[in-house]
Amino acid sequence: MTFRVDRRQFLMGSTALLAAGAMSPAFAQETRLRQFFWGGQARADRTNGVNDLFVAANPGTTIDSSFLAWGDYWPKLATETAGGNAPDIIQMDYRYIVEYAKRGAIAPLDDFAGNVLQLADFDPDQYEGGKVDGKLYGVSLGANSVALAINLDAFEEAGVAPPNRDTTYDDIRKMGEAFNAKGTMKVIQDGSGSEPMLDNWLRQKGLALYTADGKLGFGEAEIIEWFTMWDQMRADGICVDAETQALDTNGPLENTMLALGKAAIIASNSNQLVAHQAIIKSKLTISNYPRIAPGVGGGHYRKPSMFFSVGGSSANKEAAAKYLSFFINDPEAGKVLGVERGIPCSAHVRDAVAPTLDQQSQIALNFVANLGDLLGPLPPPPPAAAGEIDASLLRVLSQEVGFGARTPEDAGKYFISEATAILSRAA
Amino acid sequence: MTAQSVSSAGPREGYAVGSSIWSRAWHNHAPGYMFLLPWFIGFFGLTIGPIVTSLYLSFTHFDLLTAPRWAGLDNYVRMFTADPKFTASMRVTMFFVVFSVPLKLAFALCVALLLNRGMRGLPLYRALFYLPSLLGASVAIAILWREIFARDGLINKILAMFGIIGPSWISNPNYSLWTLIILSIWQFGSPMIIFLAGLRQIPQDMYEAASLDGASKWRQFWKITLPMLTPVVFFNAIIQTIEAFKSFTPAFIISGGTGAPINSTLFYTLYLFQEAFGFFRMGYASALAWVLLAIVALFTAFSFLTSKYWVHYDD
């Protein structure tokens, strides 16, 4: 396998390098911060807006910011880290923070907390969420929760009331029948391969995806029940068929069943309402994941949607911490950011931002603030192999059941045996 | 000539100081090596260096963030005894190679034969037919392919005119690999150009003689064109086989890097990429890369060994 950089890219790249090298002595007194995050253009615009504010307030500082889509972000970050060339400001996820922290690839921020990094009225649960082994390694950029993204126009067209906080999986089934009578689109995506949906469903049963010591938190009976439930939804035409669902490769938001107009409901996150709405004409809203039975809650939790961490090898840790402080505390920065990365965690920023939000962002803010009985405890960070189990087991098996290559029973048994093997190999 | 004159003038001075031959040789060739220096730096720094490093890494566990840990043959043992995805991805790649290479070569040869009939505007057609090869490996074409073979894409619109309701080719595990094979065949440009050049080399008098003897066009193709063309076929087959083994971009783009649906487009290279950059198992991924190298080398060696039975170099 070869990776090619075409000649023009190479020339441009090397010219830029030379230029940067030639210019650096002239700006030797400047602090250059490199920032790297995942997201789309909407997030980049907001982030760059904050960067401009920070640079204006801190003359002598420049910020080189770049971003990639989620799937491309992690290989690049790992490669740069391995090459000793990690960015100063790194967007970090709950899934990876333990790995990066334990290997010293991101720096503890405790020395800065309280002075350069102001956390006075920062939400305690979000502060705790950024800790690994008792030290602060990430500053939460917003609280969010899993949520269904819902196409309101489609529901209006089908003549059905959209899901609310009491909606159960059985209710979704009834909505699906009404949708099928109209025949425009399916009511819901095939959620059998969605790890957050499975997680939420398990939590409502008092179980979890993973235990605190990194083992599977459920057994064969549950995963078979899960695959069977979706298999029946598929057979009855409630959710989209396997061929359609396979169009969504878990990559860009443009390929979701919602954006493709194949289903009126998809599994998503509260902060992503803004991003979905940016690429879909129909009016959208969010609601909680379906309940497994009336009155059963506890599936949701307020999680740090993402963190900013500081590179372990960064030469400008203090300046980076100062940037983080500005990012989470400055009211003007908060107004630029809105709730695109989740609900601001500093109380005074939340108060300053709330009146300026558009209607959709208000929905996201209120959703996360009013989860009530839907809330359960914050689960422990997932084991390192969780990503592999999601990508190479759950999603593949969900397709195998969908295309009829395996029965739900077969898939459930295979899942448990393989996931156990992957977890023990990683440990 | 120059080499001879140097050596004939050499002995007398050469006996005196042995190293002066070397210094003189260096003196003579230094400018050449200086000109080659950028290439040497690139070759050793960017090619040989990484290759040797990856050989070392293939015997380690390495997650990019912490230093590699020696693992002996662990990676290779796991690959051949306990990795269903290795087998699955190998099967996908083999299927791809076995079908895409012969079909692509046959198609390229057909187009080359058509173009070889001395039509007007040949350079234009040649350029047009070569175009897909220039675009083929690009991200844009892979995305375009995704659209063409989607459920409501171009292919199904055409099929619908004949009353056929086509599946979603790209997201159905029964067809998804075939869409990639067709994409590969469509990039027939470079073997076609080489075939065309080969066809031009076949002496016309052979065909004239065959015509006089009453051989049909069909017979002429099998008895003259194809045998005379075997060196070119051989060359194209080897190059295209290696290319097919290395194929990565289309599967990566079309499946979003997942090899979906149900690992039906999980090329060996894609699996290697997942292991390396998805799950950060650089050691295992390096081992996978070396096994791929060995397989490609075996295929190539096999082609060379059998070539004497079917490739005609005489004229």
Instruction: Tell me the per-residue pLDDT of A321-370, one tens digit each, with 9 for 90 and over.
Output: 999 999 999 999 999 998 889 899 999 999 999 889 888 888 988 898 88
Residue range A214-229: mean pLDDT, rounded: 94
Residue range A262-278: mean pLDDT, rounded: 91
Asked whether residue A11 carries a pLDDT value surpassing 80, the answer given is no
Say whether residue B179 is in contact with chain A using an 8 A CB cutoff: no
B309: helix, strand or coil: helix
Predicted local distance difference test score (pLDDT) of residue A417: 93
Nearest to A400 among B151, B171, B262 (CB): B262
| Residue with more model confidence, B161 or B48 | B48
| Nearest chain B Cα distance for residue A42, angstroms | 21
Q: B255 and A249 in contact by Cβ < 8 A? A: yes
Predicted local distance difference test score (pLDDT) of residue A407: 94
- The predicted model scores a pTM of 0.79
Asked whether residue B136 carries a pLDDT value surpassing 80, the answer given is no
In whole angstroms, how far apart are CA B235 and each of A35, B105, B181, B241, B304? 48, 11, 20, 10, 10
**Segment A118-132, tens digit of pLDDT:** 998 998 889 988 998
Which parts of B149-223 fold into alpha helices (H)? 154-161, 176-186, 189-200, 204-212, 217-220
Helix count (H) and strand count (E) of chain A?
A: 18, 13
Given 3-state DSSP classes, what are the helix, strand and coil percentages for chain B, each rounded to the nearest 5? 75, 0, 25
Cα dihedral sign, B231-B232-B235-B241: negative
Residue range B245-261: mean pLDDT, rounded: 81
Taking the C-alpha atoms of residue A221 and residue A41, their distance in angstroms, rounded to an integer, is 43
Say whether residue B24 is in contact with chain A using an 8 A CB cutoff: no
- Nearest Cα to Cα of residue A426 among A208, A135, A216: A216
Q: In sequence order, what are the residues at sequence separation of 6 or more whose Cβ sits closer than 8 angstroms to the Cβ of residue A331? A: A348, A349, A352, A353
Nearest to B263 among A2, A78, A396 (CB): A396
Share of chain B above pLDDT 90, in %: 30
Taking the C-alpha atoms of residue A358 and residue A178, their distance in angstroms, rounded to an integer, is 32
Predicted local distance difference test score (pLDDT) of residue A29: 63
For chain B positions 27-66, those within 8 Å of chain A (CB to CB) are 64-66
Residue range A375-379: mean pLDDT, rounded: 87
Predicted local distance difference test score (pLDDT) of residue B17: 53
- Between strands A135-136 and A303-304, the pairing is unpaired
Query: What count of CB pairs under 8 Å joins A to B?
Result: 85
- Between strands A186-188 and A131-132, the pairing is unpaired
| Nearest chain B Cα distance for residue A71, angstroms | 8
Among A101-110, A172-181, A415-424, B112-121, name the one with the lowest average pLDDT: B112-121
Say whether residue B286 is in contact with chain A using an 8 A CB cutoff: no
Asked whether residue A6 carries a pLDDT value surpassing 80, the answer given is no
Say whether residue B86 is in contact with chain A using an 8 A CB cutoff: no
Taking the C-alpha atoms of residue A216 and residue A222, their distance in angstroms, rounded to an integer, is 12
Q: How confident is the model at residue B3 (pLDDT cuts 50, 70, 90)?
A: very low
In the predicted model, what is the mean pLDDT of chain A?
Answer: 88
The residue type of A231 is D
Contact A363, A273 (CB under 8 A): yes
Nearest to B269 among A1, A81, A242 (CB): A1
Q: A251 and B257 in contact by Cβ < 8 A? A: yes
Taking the C-alpha atoms of residue A355 and residue A335, their distance in angstroms, rounded to an integer, is 10
Q: A399 and B168 in contact by Cβ < 8 A? A: no
Which residues of chain A approach chain B closer than 8 Å at the C-beta?
1-2, 71, 74-75, 78-79, 81-82, 99-100, 103, 105, 242-247, 249-251, 255, 387-388, 391-392, 395-396, 399-400, 403, 405
Q: How confident is the model at residue B70 (pLDDT cuts 50, 70, 90)?
A: very high
Q: What is the DSSP letter of A185?
A: S
Predicted local distance difference test score (pLDDT) of residue B307: 87
Residue to substitute from B242, B280, B293, interface A, most A β-carbons within 10 A = B280
Q: How confident is the model at residue B301 (pLDDT cuts 50, 70, 90)?
A: very high
Predicted local distance difference test score (pLDDT) of residue A154: 93
Taking the C-alpha atoms of residue A77 and residue A73, their distance in angstroms, rounded to an integer, is 6
Nearest to A75 among B171, B255, B277 (CB): B277
Taking the C-alpha atoms of residue A168 and residue A307, their distance in angstroms, rounded to an integer, is 32
In the predicted model, what is the mean pLDDT of chain B?
Answer: 84
Q: A387 and B168 in contact by Cβ < 8 A? A: no
| Nearest chain A Cα distance for residue B76, angstroms | 15
Contact B117, B221 (CB under 8 A): no
Q: B278 and A103 in contact by Cβ < 8 A? A: no
Predicted local distance difference test score (pLDDT) of residue A27: 47
Taking the C-alpha atoms of residue B219 and residue B223, their distance in angstroms, rounded to an integer, is 6
**Segment A392-401, tens digit of pLDDT:** 899 999 999 9
- Nearest Cα to Cα of residue A191 among A398, A411, A389, A393: A398
Buried b (16+ CB within 10 A) or exposed e, B20-36: eeeeeeeeeeeeeeeee
- Count the Cβ atoms, other than its own, within 10 Å of residue B98: 13
Predicted local distance difference test score (pLDDT) of residue A275: 86
Contacts of A75 in chain B (CB under 8 A): 276-278
Contacts of A405 in chain B (CB under 8 A): 173, 262
Nearest to B66 among A103, A391, A400 (CB): A103
Residue to substitute from A243, A257, A410, A425, interface B, most B β-carbons within 10 A = A243
| Nearest chain A Cα distance for residue B238, angstroms | 16
Q: How confident is the model at residue B11 (pLDDT cuts 50, 70, 90)?
A: very low
Contacts of B150 in chain A (CB under 8 A): 247
Residue range A274-283: mean pLDDT, rounded: 90
Unique residue bearing structure tokens 């601001």? A344
Asked whether residue A70 carries a pLDDT value surpassing 50, the answer given is yes
| Nearest chain A Cα distance for residue B192, angstroms | 23
Q: How confident is the model at residue A168 (pLDDT cuts 50, 70, 90)?
A: very high
Say whether residue B280 is in contact with chain A using an 8 A CB cutoff: yes
| Nearest chain A Cα distance for residue B109, angstroms | 27
Taking the C-alpha atoms of residue A125 and residue A135, their distance in angstroms, rounded to an integer, is 14
**Segment A140-153, tens digit of pLDDT:** 999 889 999 999 99
**CA closest to B166 among chain A residues:** A243
Share of chain A above pLDDT 90, in %: 57
Contact A402, B264 (CB under 8 A): no
Note the Cα A353 to chain centre separation in Å. 22
Q: How confident is the model at residue A414 (pLDDT cuts 50, 70, 90)?
A: very high
**CA closest to A6 among chain B residues:** B138
| A273: its two tokens | 């309402």
Asked whether residue A60 carries a pLDDT value surpassing 50, the answer given is yes
Say whether residue B247 is in contact with chain A using an 8 A CB cutoff: no
Q: How confident is the model at residue A25 (pLDDT cuts 50, 70, 90)?
A: very low
**CA closest to A400 among chain B residues:** B262
Q: How confident is the model at residue A163 (pLDDT cuts 50, 70, 90)?
A: very high
Q: How confident is the model at residue B137 (pLDDT cuts 50, 70, 90)?
A: low
Q: B262 and A396 in contact by Cβ < 8 A? A: yes
How many CA atoms, within 13 angstroms, populate the side-chain half-sphere of residue B307?
20
